[in-house]
Structure 1
Amino acid sequence: MTPRTARILAVALVVAAIGVVAWMWTSREEPPLPNDLAQVAPGDRFDNAEAAVEYYRAVLRRDPDGVEPRVRLAHALMQLGEERGTQTETVPEARQLLEEAVEREPDHYYARTLQASLFNVLHRFEDARDLSRELLAEYPHHAFVHGTLIDALVELGEYDQAVEASDRLQALKPGLPAYSRASYLRELHGDTDGAIEAMRFAADAAPSGRPERAWALYQLANLYLGAAKPDTAAYIFQGILEERPGFAPALAGLGHVALVKGDATEAVRQLEEARALQPLEVIDELLVEAYTAVGDERKAEAAAGRVHEALLAAREMGEIVDMEEADFLIDQGRDLDRSLQMAREQQARRPGHLHANETYAWALLHTGDAQAAVPYIERAMRLDTGDAMVHYRAARIYEAAGQPDVAARHLRLALDGHLEVESPSTAAEARTLLASLDGTPIRAASATR
């Protein structure tokens, strides 16, 4: 598990990184895919994205009205932004290029598939879902678009349909994109062992040293860390760095392991080194915890400020981040009325989405309406994911709603679910609250193998 706001954002990041290696499948019973897809598929990776950007910029200068160079430049920009963590710089241009390409050639299949993927990056999930379905109506066996459809359905909270689409993708083209998405769906349904198994398959499906394998292994390590197996997670993080030195998320993962094991000083060192390589939001959220653990409130506040700045930058590039910002601001105790409004709108937009319901419930609690929060936090727990933070938040809501016995039960579930992995400081608060509710002293959890 990763910290709260970054975990919500990281799902999209990991899926985007993994989804960039989708395979295609064409049935003999349907027309062949368009010629441009036979040359460069939207699921392919450029060996050197920076060089590809320079090349297609040059081609576009020679052919300023061309559709093909626009699409390929957009593709290269999307990959470059994902690799460097600079999507706020590359996505706006890629978005404009794809819009121009589709305006010039409305039926351009390659451009539209990339648009579907980009809609997910921008959290325009309804657009991604609808466009993916249009594309699949034309080419039902195109695996890449099955992936964009699954991602959109998950983020809209349409989980049953997402599972059906995932089953189709696995039957159609087993491989890293199919297995990684199946892993996340299993995790959402509380099947940690199944999620680990599927993510192992995903990692094994990619060649050693490839970025998509590194991302799959990173997710696998986090699954083990969330299951309170930090030594196994550390072993995998180290293995990633051996295959792909300088992979910042893996180094940050080692920092996370150190934090879980109680070595906050080592956690700070590794997290700062990781952030110097790539300033990702997940690293800054971990740094908030690490700096707090070593008593450096000034640096903790600065790291939290960077998390908020990243959210604002994402909004500036066109990404819908209202749910993520509301969650962040509530935990900071800031702009609660605005956070409530954003959370309410996102829950109405995605009524089945677990985190949308959780965030709205959390906002209701912090604006003084714990009773109204109860049905939403219960909806957030309906899949029995085992999410420790959701159980902690449920406990806070039930306590404020005058149900201390229910609150105590959810605190135990949170602590049994290894809340300290997600937030050591929150785990300490949970132990204190549980002791006050039932008078039983609760010892601090220790990291297990």
Structure 2
Amino acid sequence: MRRLPLVLTTTLMCGAMAAVGLWQERPADPPSSSDNARRDNKPLATGSLPQAIAADQQRLRAAPQDAPAWARLGAEYVEQARLTADPTYYPKADEALHRSLTLVPKDNVEALTGLGALANARHQFAQARDLAVQTIAIAPLHWQAYAVLADARTQLGDDTGATDAVQALLDRQPGTASFTRAAYDLEQHGRTDDAKQALQQALAGAFDPADKAFCQYQIAELDRNAGHPDQALAGYRQALTDDADYTPALAGKARVEAALGDNDGAVRDYDSAIAKVPLPQYLLELGELHQSLGHADQAQAQYRLLDAEQRLAAANGVVDDLTMGQYQADHGDPGEAVRLLRSEWGRRHNVLVADALAWALHRQGAETEALELAHQAQHTGWHNALFAYHRGEIEHTLGRDTAAREDLTEALHEDPYFNPLQAPRAHADLTALTGAP
């Protein structure tokens, strides 16, 4: 497996958090997620972003032919959508960026980069990749385009291409944007210790509170995914100390509070996170927590909100069959889940999609095809407890009990608390397979 040499040896120069908005949240988020550069290559704080938008709107009323200002405004709209989980900003961003491109149709690097980031945010990853490649052909040193390219290739399942794009980003802009992407690439390839070291380097070079919170959060995510909830809780708390408005850390805190048995605290923190940023991931997680606690009405309320958020996103150009496919597989119609996830798989061969489709097929009873996809989901070497659990359950259904025991053991070794509904099932099934009391 090819090493990223700069990850652990380059002197870190921080101060441009997460590709100044070009990054997506990890899909657990995230990543999902997934935004754009502004004039000074620095992310705007949540409070200052509306001011920046208002200032650019005012400028453009006075100077409507200002192509850079239109590109900047489009980038700000994409960032506002990310910060607020409000997809109605995406059409505004699209209009502003195309206005810039109409005014300057040739070599408009900022508009092209912004459109690539917008395409990533809308989960139009092939389009984002093509726009990034087009931008790089014009401006090979424009590092923001490599961030767009890395995100797009990661989501498309182009593992080698994603690593190459991350390396190119490291070569041009060693900093939070590149080191955090490198950490995710390393984690996906099973190199968790290297990933954590890269994030610690990023944190050591960070000076802005938002940068520090972002790095602390990513380190805490690694700790949580490795089954260390106490360490993760300390990391999430530190992230919130660095930046009280960093909502992902609040949701992360809720996850580990649930793992540690503080269900009241978990529900409270999920509610607070959702009130600030109603991401589908948070809604699904809170719904599953309520369901695990026997709160059927509260769980259904979260699932209805999830459906409404997904419909709103689709109405504003977001293409995301993965989230609803995952929901349908566990809480709705497995047949519909398979339909949605086959559509997503047709667009991108990402390991998250492979795992989700494998699980949906298992829920539908198509075990042989499910196992083939479950094995595809593990080809990068990612230590992912949910993947291992899904694989183990599929093998158990097929009567491959030895393999099932190994995979369920792996899932619970990686993270005994990986899901409030499925982790207890993994414990019960493993007990039944081993005959242990």
Question: TM-score w.r.t. structure 2 length?
Answer: 0.87
Q: 1:235, 1:344 → 2: CA distance?
A: 39
Residues 295-323 of structure 1: per-residue CA shift (max 9 Å, x gap): 32211121122223222222221111012
Query: Contact conserved, 2:126 with 2:156, CA < 8 A, in 1?
Result: yes
SS of residue matched to 1:10: coil
Residues 268-319 of structure 1: per-residue CA shift (max 9 Å, x gap): 2232233333333333233224323433221112112222322222222111
Aligned to 1:394: 391
% same residue:
26
RMSD: 2.2
Q: 1:424, 1:46 → 2: CA distance?
A: 35
Residues 42-80 of structure 1: per-residue CA shift (max 9 Å, x gap): x44346211121222223333445433322221222222
Q: 2:137, 2:431 → 1: CA distance?
A: 57
Query: Contact conserved, 1:6 with 1:281, CA < 8 A, in 2?
Result: no
Aligned to 2:235: 236
Aligned to 1:70: 70
Q: 1:133, 1:168 → 2: CA distance?
A: 13
Aligned to 1:10: 30
Q: Does 1:368 align with 2:388?
A: no
Query: Contact conserved, 2:354 with 2:376, CA < 8 A, in 1?
Result: yes
Q: What's the offset of the Cα at 1:385? A: 0.9
Q: What's the offset of the Cα at 1:6? A: 8.7
Change (3 A) 1:286 1:357: closer
Query: Contact conserved, 2:147 with 2:169, CA < 8 A, in 1?
Result: yes
Query: Contact conserved, 1:6 with 1:282, CA < 8 A, in 2?
Result: no
Change (3 A) 1:168 1:70: closer
Q: Does 1:224 align with 2:223?
A: yes
Residues 322-368 of structure 1: per-residue CA shift (max 9 Å, x gap): 1222112111132x3332122123223323x2112112212222222
Q: In the alignment, which of 413, 417, 435 is matched to residue 416 of structure 1?
A: 413
What does 1:239-250 align with in structure 2 at a 5 Å threshold?
239-250=238-249
Structure 2, gaps ≥5 residues long: 1-24
Q: Kindly tell me the number of residue pairs found equivalent between the two proteins.
A: 410
Aligned to 1:425: 421
Aligned to 2:7: none
Q: 2:293, 2:323 → 1: CA distance?
A: 27
Query: Contact conserved, 1:388 with 1:418, CA < 8 A, in 2?
Result: yes
Give the partner amino acid of 1:424.
Answer: P
Q: What's the offset of the Cα at 1:142? A: 1.6
Q: 1:399, 1:342 → 2: CA distance?
A: 25
Q: 1:73, 1:286 → 2: CA distance?
A: 33
Query: Contact conserved, 2:224 with 2:415, CA < 8 A, in 1?
Result: no
Residues 185-220 of structure 1: per-residue CA shift (max 9 Å, x gap): 01101111111111222233332312x432232121
SS of residue matched to 2:421: helix
Q: 2:102, 2:139 → 1: CA distance?
A: 21
My pick for the range that moved more, 376-385 or 287-296, is: 287-296
Aligned to 2:58: 58
Q: What's the offset of the Cα at 1:145? A: 1.0
Query: Contact conserved, 2:213 with 2:238, CA < 8 A, in 1?
Result: no
Change (3 A) 1:285 1:203: farther
Q: Does 1:338 align with 2:336?
A: yes
Aligned to 1:444: none
Q: 1:81, 1:372 → 2: CA distance?
A: 37
Aligned to 1:258: 257
Give the partner amino acid of 1:262.
Answer: G
My pick for the range that moved more, 363-372 or 46-55, is: 46-55
Aligned to 1:347: 345
Change (3 A) 1:204 1:102: same
Q: 1:322, 1:206 → 2: CA distance?
A: 36
Query: Contact conserved, 1:8 with 1:324, CA < 8 A, in 2?
Result: no
Q: What's the offset of the Cα at 1:115? A: 0.9
Query: Contact conserved, 2:154 with 2:162, CA < 8 A, in 1?
Result: yes
What does 1:41-120 align with in structure 2 at a 5 Å threshold?
43-46=41-44, 48-64=48-64, 66-86=66-86, 88-107=87-106, 108-120=108-120
Question: TM-score w.r.t. structure 1 length?
Answer: 0.85
Change (3 A) 1:350 1:258: same
Q: 2:26, 2:285 → 1: CA distance?
A: 9
Q: 2:287, 2:336 → 1: CA distance?
A: 23
Q: What's the offset of the Cα at 1:171? A: 2.4
Change (3 A) 1:7 1:308: farther
SS of residue matched to 1:7: coil
Q: Does 1:407 align with 2:404?
A: yes
My pick for the range that moved more, 366-375 or 179-188, is: 366-375
Give the partner amino acid of 2:198.
Answer: A
Q: What's the offset of the Cα at 1:432? A: 1.3
Give the partner amino acid of 1:207.
Answer: F
Aligned to 2:375: 378
Q: 2:332, 2:80 → 1: CA distance?
A: 36
Query: Contact conserved, 1:186 with 1:195, CA < 8 A, in 2?
Result: yes
SS of residue matched to 1:383: coil
Query: Contact conserved, 1:370 with 1:397, CA < 8 A, in 2?
Result: yes
Aligned to 1:440: 436
Q: 1:338, 1:192 → 2: CA distance?
A: 35
Q: 2:311, 2:401 → 1: CA distance?
A: 38
SS of residue matched to 1:100: helix
